[in-house]
Amino acid sequence: MAMCADTWGAVRDTWREQYGHAAGSTTRAGRCSRRSTHPPGELASKTPFDALPVPDALADLVVTCSALERDAAHGGAAGLAEMERVCTPDGLMVVVWPSHLDWLSAQGFTYLSFPGRMWMEFRDPEEAIEITEIFYPHAAAEVRARGEARVEYDVIGVNPPRDLAFKVNER
């Protein structure tokens, strides 16, 4: 999933206003830290929350999208601890589409919500149509008729990822 630049820009700007510097060395979530000994690149993991296959303090920015919840089966305290382990000191941990805001707030996370229109950006219109047919078949005809690589969440009828909770890693 790609987070639209406007959303990431708002996260970066909020971070800069509150802490005086931008989060990390890049505007693409998931990249390794400049301070990391790991080669730069995109990182993604489909492993359990409590066993990410990466070294400590690897990334300036650690993001989970619509997955981490307070229930142990969905990460819970062990998942948060793993995010902290992987995140550099003073790095940023972000939960996109957060659930249980009270639990995250008690863990030191700050909630943000971004107004405005949001979209998914695909490689080209053909990819937009293909993915929409698989995951949002009710919207496929509209996406096909528009013929654009950018598909607004309103078109597919899904709540956009405008909500997030973030925390500075203080370890």
Name the average pLDDT for the chain: 78
Q: What are residue 63's DSSP bridge partners?
A: 94
Count of residues making up the chain = 171
Q: Give the list of residues 6+ apart from residue 79 with CB closer than 8 angstroms, or none.
A: 49, 50, 64, 68
- What does the alpha-carbon distance between residue 162 and residue 118 come to, in Å, rounded to a whole number? 8
- What does the alpha-carbon distance between residue 120 and residue 112 come to, in Å, rounded to a whole number? 20
Secondary structure class of 112 (helix, strand, coil): strand
Q: So what's the pLDDT on residue 47?
A: 55
- What does the alpha-carbon distance between residue 164 and residue 111 come to, in Å, rounded to a whole number? 6
Q: Which of the four pLDDT bands, split at 50, 70 and 90, describes residue 24?
A: very low
Pairing of strands 163-168, 110-113: antiparallel
Q: What are residue 93's DSSP bridge partners?
A: 62, 167
* pTM tops 0.75, yes or no: no
pLDDT in tens, 68-95: 889 988 889 999 999 999 999 999 999 9
Instruction: Compute CA 71 distance to the chain's CA centroid, rounded to the nearest angstrom.
Output: 19
pLDDT in tens, 90-145: 999 999 989 899 999 999 999 999 989 899 999 999 999 999 999 999 999 999 99
Q: Which of the four pLDDT bands, split at 50, 70 and 90, describes residue 54?
A: confident
